[in-house]
Amino acid sequence: MKSDMKIVIIGAGVAGLSIGWRLRQAGAEVTILERAQPASGATWASAGMIALAAELETSPPVEVDFARQSNALWPGFAREIEEESGQAVGYERSGALLLSDDAVAMAGRAAADTDLTFLTAEEVRARWPMLSGEYSGGLWARHEAHVDNRALGRALAIAFLKAGGVLKPAEAAVNLEYRGRRITGVLTPFTRYHGNAVLLAAGAWSGQVVQLPVTPVKGEMIALTPPPDAEFDFVGPVVWGQGVYLVPRGGRLLVGATVEEVGFDTSLSDGAVRHLRQKAEAVIPGLARWRLDEHWAGLRPGTPDGLPLLGPSHEQGLFIASGQYRNGILFAPAIAQLMADMIRGRAEPIDAFDPRRFPGAKP
Ligand SMILES: Cc1cc2nc3c(=O)[nH]c(=O)nc-3n(C[C@H](O)[C@H](O)[C@H](O)COP(=O)(O)OP(=O)(O)OC[C@H]3O[C@@H](n4cnc5c(N)ncnc54)[C@H](O)[C@@H]3O)c2cc1C
């Protein structure tokens, strides 16, 4: 596929890989520079939830609309990645259950949103008897899903490479190249890469490449495995309760997540394990017998207003796809489509997500 459009992308997370893949499918020449290994950042650390009801309860309508649009794209996106890569991504529309003590608020939300159903505590217990009785009911979000984010990262990298994209692992962008006031490429310790456009998709590290209001927000998670004689096998929906979420994944139960602003520190703490286990056991008491299988941390890309940065920057030739905070997996198909269209000049940024809503670097 010959093209006169050359794009250089900084960062091979879910954002950089999926936008790069879509651009490549549209005929652009795409090179992705990745400081470490593909999909080893927040994309790897994530819980892979495609979560609307719990994550977006207080979000502005523009973000809720974007999330709904992305959720609708997810089944086709997952299928296409699997077909192109030959790898399963574990997309499951298993629904989500949000446990709460506030029956009135839950009934109100269910009345206002046809995607949500209010279940009484008895109805919840009848369907999921392993759950504790410490709640007055649950909101059932039947359209919600989750994906194996680690498998997704691997599959996206393969799909991008199979489409003819160029991926440079262990090669960090250290500077941008300017011609006059326009950015024309990226410098790495080894060489320079020219492009008609550069896309910055470096997750929580985006603000280290250019001045951007993106800050790292640390999250620790754990995975539990059942004992051989476990009384129950939890393969049901994602469950939210007690300030944590439980995600069934490949025979394990993922429990997340802490939220801390401590810079780029990703050290692991025993306190986080205790906190997550205690909360998980308050939701499902039988988890007390489950074994700790893994403990990890990752950095979410946060922004001052909690909304993503998607679109052109103050610098000519430089686009941004960052600041997805807790929703980078949920948003992935919609971001891939929007950013690929925008970079090709076929779409305008969404005002509320326009990176230029924040001031640029001082001249
Ligand atoms: C604990 C936790 C749980 C989460 N759970 C969910 C969830 O359930 N659902 C959901 O939707 N979202 C979730 N998220 C958020 C989601 O993971 C992120 O929003 C998303 O992964 C961001 O994707 P990204 O591609 O922008 O960033 P990343 O995946 O972090 O990728 C950025 C990449 O850029 C690379 N990079 C950085 N600097 C440079 C440079 N100078 N040169 C080259 N490469 C560079 C990094 O090495 C990295 O690979 C969670 C996050 C965490 C931490």
* CATH code 3.90.78.10 for 6-88+148-213+304-357: no
Q: Which of 18, 33, 43 to mutate to test the pocket of ligand 1 (most atoms within 8 A of CB)?
A: 43
Cβ 20 under 6 angstroms from ligand 1? no
Q: Classify 288 as helix, strand or coil.
A: helix
Cβ neighbour number for residue 201 with a 10 Å cutoff:
27
Nearest Cα to 300, choosing from 3, 15, 1?
15
What CATH class has 96-143+216-302? alpha beta
Give distance in angstroms: CA of 291 to centre of ligand 1.
27
Check residue 164 and give left, alpha or beta (phi > 0: left; psi -120 to 50: alpha): left
User: Alpha-carbon distance 285 to 326, whole Å?
Assistant: 27
Asked if residue 110 has a cis previous peptide bond (ω within 30° of 0), the answer is: no
**Phi and psi torsions of 211, nearest 5°:** -70, 115
pLDDT of 229 reads: 87
141: left (phi over 0), alpha (psi -120 to 50) or beta: beta
**Secondary structure (H, E, C), 250-283:** CCEEEEECCCECECECCCCCHHHHHHHHHHHHHH
Residue 155 is predicted with a pLDDT of 98
pLDDT of the residue at 55: 84
> How far does the centroid of ligand 1 lie from the alpha carbon of residue 267, in Å?
17
Query: According to the model, what pLDDT value does residue 363 have?
Result: 46
Of 101, 354, 89, 337, nearest to 240 by C-alpha is: 101
For the record, the structure tokens of 277 come out as 């286990």
Determine the pLDDT at residue 362: 53
- Cβ of 329 closer than 6 Å to ligand 1, yes or no, is yes
Round to the nearest angstrom and report the end-to-end CA distance of the chain. Answer: 40
8 Å CB contact between 60 and 199: no
Q: Give the Cα separation of 41 and 204 in Å (integer).
A: 9
What's the confidence (pLDDT) of residue 1? 47
Ligand 1 contact, 298 CB (< 6 A): yes
All CATH 3.50.50.60 domain ranges in the chain, comma separated: 6-88+148-213+304-357
Contacts of residue 338, defined as CB under 8 A and 6 or more positions apart, other chains included, come to 310, 347, 350
State how far the alpha carbon of 166 is from the alpha carbons of 7, 40, 171, 244, in Å: 11, 17, 12, 39
Q: Measured in angstroms, how far is the CA atom of residue 148 from the centroid of ligand 1?
A: 14
| Statement: the pTM of the whole predicted model exceeds 0.95 | yes
Q: Which of 300, 310, 335, 339 to mutate to test the pocket of ligand 1 (most atoms within 8 A of CB)?
A: 300
Find the 201 Cα to ligand 1 centroid distance in Å.
Answer: 9
**How does pLDDT run along the chain (363 residues), one tens digit per residue?**
456 899 999 999 999 999 999 999 999 999 999 999 999 999 999 999 999 988 888 899 999 999 999 999 999 999 999 999 999 999 999 999 999 999 899 999 999 999 999 999 999 999 999 998 778 899 999 999 999 999 999 999 999 999 999 999 999 999 999 998 899 999 999 999 999 999 999 999 999 999 999 999 999 999 999 998 887 777 779 999 999 999 999 999 999 999 999 999 999 999 999 999 999 999 999 999 999 999 999 999 999 999 999 999 999 999 999 999 999 999 999 999 999 999 999 999 999 999 999 987 654
Domain with CATH 3.30.9.10 in the chain: 96-143+216-302
